[in-house]
Amino acid sequence: MRLKIRNVRKEDLDFFVKVYKETYKGLEEYAYTNDKIIRWYFRWLMRRDPQGFFVAEADSPIAFIHCDANWMSYPEGKKVGEIHELVVHPNWIGKGVGKTLVLKAIDYSKSRGRDTIELWVGYTNYRAINFYKKMGFKERESSDRWIRMTKKI
C-alpha cells in the first residue's frame, strides 16, 4: 500500500463528508449526521488549526485526522494536542492507516511544544477505545457518553 499524508485542503471537503459518514455508520450517537453540519464541522476544524489537519490518500482520500495544538485542556491545565477527529474509511481499518495518522498527530503536537495529546471517544466505541489503548492512551475520566483519553508524548 502506498500511502501519502498531506495537509487537508478546502477541496477535500466532499471526501471528508463521505469518509466521515462511512466511518460513523452504527455509531451515529457520536457523530453529526446532517451533510450541512458535517461541512460546517470541516470548516471549523480548518479554522481551529489548519496545520494540524491531515489526510491520508491511497488513490483518493481514505482517512483524516485533526490535531489541534492550540487546545487548552482544562483537566490538564495547559495546552495539549487535542485530536478532535480521526476517521478512517471502513475498507482501510486494520491496515495501519489510523496508526500512521495518530503518529503524525503526535509528531505535530511535539513540534508545537506539547507534551500531552488527548481525545474524547464514545464510551461504546470499543474498537476505537482498544485502538487508542494499543497506541498508549490511558482512560482518564468520563462525561455523559464520552471517555477522555490522554498520552504523554
Q: Flag whether pLDDT at 14 surpasses 90.
A: yes
Strands of the chain, DSSP E: 4-7, 53-57, 61-73, 78-88, 116-122, 138-143, 146-152
Q: Flag whether pLDDT at 66 surpasses 80.
A: yes
Q: Flag whether pLDDT at 43 surpasses 70.
A: yes
pLDDT of residue 1: 64
**Backbone angles phi and psi of 21, in degrees to 5:** -65, -40
Please say whether the beta carbons of 39 and 13 come within 8 A: yes
pLDDT digits (tens, 9 = 90+) for 99-118: 999 999 999 999 999 999 99
